[in-house]
Amino acid sequence: MKILVAVKRVVDYNVKVRVKADNSGVDLANVKMSMNPFCEIAVEEAVRLKEKGVASEIVVVTIGPAAAQEQLRTALALGADRALLVESGEELNSLAVAKLLKAVVDKEQPQLVILGKQSIDSDNNQTGQMLAALTGYAQGTFASKVEVAGDKLSVTREIDGGLQTVSLALPAVVTTDLRLNEPRYASLPNIMKAKKKPLETVTPDALGVSLASTLKTVRVEAPAARSAGIKVGSVAELVEKLKNEAKVI
Amino acid sequence: MAILVIAEHSNGALAGATLNTVAAAQKIGGEIVVLVAGQGVAPVAEAAAKVAGVGKVLVADDAAYANLLPENVAPLIVGLAKGYSHVLAPATTNGKNYLPRVAALLDVEQISEIVEVVAADTFKRPIYAGNAIATVQSSAPVKVITVRATGFDAVAAEGGSAAIEPVSGTGDAGKSAFVGEELATSDRPELTAAKIVISGGRGLQNGDNFKHLYALADKLGAAVGASRAAVDAGFVPNDMQVGQTGKIVAPQLYIAVGISGAIQHLAGMKDSKVIVAINKDEDAPIFQVADYGLVADLFEAVPELEKLV
Ligand SMILES: Cc1cc2nc3c(=O)[nH]c(=O)nc-3n(C[C@H](O)[C@H](O)[C@H](O)COP(=O)(O)OP(=O)(O)OC[C@H]3O[C@@H](n4cnc5c(N)ncnc54)[C@H](O)[C@@H]3O)c2cc1C
Ligand SMILES: Nc1ncnc2c1ncn2[C@@H]1O[C@H](COP(=O)(O)O)[C@@H](O)[C@H]1O
Mean residue pLDDT of chain B comes to 97
Q: Percentage of residues in chain B with pLDDT exceeding 70?
A: 100
At the top level of CATH, the class of A2-245 is alpha beta
Q: Establish whether the linkage from the previous residue to A37 is cis, with ω within 30° of 0.
A: no
The model carries a pTM of 0.97
Q: What is the pLDDT of residues B19-63, one digit of tens each?
A: 999 999 999 999 999 999 999 999 999 999 999 999 999 999 999
Q: Using the CB atoms, write b or e for B215-233: b if 16+ within 10 Å.
A: ebbeebebbbbbbbbbbeb
Indicate the domain borders of chain A: 2-245
Q: What is the pLDDT of residues B212-266, one digit of tens each?
A: 999 999 999 999 999 999 999 999 999 999 999 999 999 999 999 999 999 999 9
Kindly list the protein residues whose Cβ atom lies closer than 6 A to any atom of ligand 2: A 6-8, 36, 38-39, 42, 62-64, 94, 97, 115-116, 118-119, 122, 124-128
The predicted model gives A124-151 an average pLDDT of: 97
The fold of B196-308 is: Rossmann fold (3.40.50)
Q: Determine, for residues B176 and A138 on separate chains, whether the beta-carbon distance falls below 8 Å.
A: yes
To which CATH superfamily is domain B2-166 assigned? HUPs (3.40.50.620)
φ, ψ (nearest 5 deg) of residue B62:
-160, 140
pLDDT class of B185 with cuts at 50, 70, 90? confident
pLDDT at A47: 98
Residue of B247, B260, B294, B299 to test ligand 1 pocket, by largest number of atoms within 8 Å of CB: B260
- Where in the sequence of chain B do the CATH 3.40.50.620 domains occur? 2-166
Q: Determine, for residues B238 and A238 on separate chains, whether the beta-carbon distance falls below 8 Å.
A: no
Q: What is the pLDDT of residues A186-198, one digit of tens each?
A: 999 999 999 999 9
The predicted model gives A90-114 an average pLDDT of: 97
DSSP letter assigned to residue B204: G
Residue B225 known to bind ligand: no
Name the closest-CA residue to atom 19, ligand 1: B229
Residue B186 has pLDDT above 90, yes or no: no
Q: Which residues contact A50 (CB under 8 A, 6 or more apart)?
A: A3, A56, A57, A58, A79
- Where in the sequence of chain B do the CATH 3.40.50.1220 domains occur? 196-308
φ, ψ (nearest 5 deg) of residue A185:
-95, 150
Residue of B248, B253, B250, B259 lying closest to B281 (CA atoms): B259
pLDDT at B10: 92
Q: Which residues pair with B124 in a beta bridge?
A: B116, B135
